[in-house]
Structure 1
Amino acid sequence: MTSRSSYHHGDLRQAVLAAALDVIATEGPGALSLRDLARRAGVSHAAPAHHFKDRTGLLTAIAAQGYGLLAETLAGTTELSERGVRYVRFAAAHPAHFQVMFQPGLLRADDPDLLAAKERAAAELRAGVAGLEGVPDARTAGIAAWSLAHGFATLLLTHNVDAALGDRNPEEYFRALAGLLFDGRAPRPSTADGA
């Protein structure tokens, strides 16, 4: 349990967010309870409601924070495949945020902080396809690239590609997938396949 001294100087909001991220990472968003989070923070059960109003407000704050972190992670490169790698890196580093961000039924869709953070992340995603040459439909190319990165990140977080990855770095594995699909570079057959 977090002691009262751990959130002095106005850190209660961050303490509740951190506790919520821990719960989501281990038990999923369905396990969140403001009452339980208050207990973990060592405050009255009404204290978290002061910052988030309710569970939906808390999840919305987590999603907004996640989209902001995603935008920061994507910034700084113009190469589409590197943005995909960074997307996968974000998901691996922030699995609880990732779980919440893409579940609109859990969120307050009209929240101004959420809308602003989503737009920053979307702008970074769009920037990855803006400079592609020879692509007649940048929007469709963007959705294809996002689908690949998001799908791989989801499979990674749910351990559905563990066997395929083996001891390979997930970012390098994603680079190979992106190269295969977007650059037309087919992987060389392994000798184990008889080729």
Structure 2
Amino acid sequence: MTAEGIVIGEDGLARPLWASSDPLLREYYDTEWGLPVRDEQGLYERISLEAFQAGLSWATILRKRPAFRAAFDNFHPETVAAFTEADVERLLQDPGIVRNRLKIRAAITNANATIALRDEGGLVDFVWKFQPTSTPAPATYADVPTTSPESIALSRALRKKGFAFVGPTTMFALMEAIGMVDTHLVDSHRRGTSGVWS
């Protein structure tokens, strides 16, 4: 491992330490993290999972993602928006997901807010208009920010639209995950692969 936290894998590819040992995290890093998400259902799912992740490791959420998708009907906004208190209680008994009442209710709240945003051009356009004009170029983990002016503004704007569990740090993590910013370390094999940033 280099001082910057980059690990050269057996395949010869450079990845950050967090994506180097766990096969699930490595697959997610290589094929999904940092690639643009520009469909409503996909973006609603990412917002939901980032909210569930708050205070937990991303590995925990990734391992539970199949169960989350089953429990939340693949994060279909109309279906989740119609969930009742009985559904909340049912989900609190589901050992496959993170059983947190506030986070479950936030997913339902955010489904309704997602639907409401369709009158203003939709969730995708709303979120992506906060894309910054430049992206970080971190050489080490110490260089990777946890918030940005844009994530703070996005958090504030989503809250005004009725979204919950969308704090600035959570929104920066979302922006990283969907390619709005490229925080791949500069020596990573994935740096610059999103098509968003040259």
Same fold (TM over 0.5): no
What is the TM-score with the length of structure 1 in the denominator? 0.23
What is the TM-score with the length of structure 2 in the denominator? 0.23
Bigger fraction of residues in helix: 1
Which has the higher relative contact order, 1 or 2, with Cα contacts under 8 A spaced 6 or more apart? 2
Higher-Rg member (1/2): 1
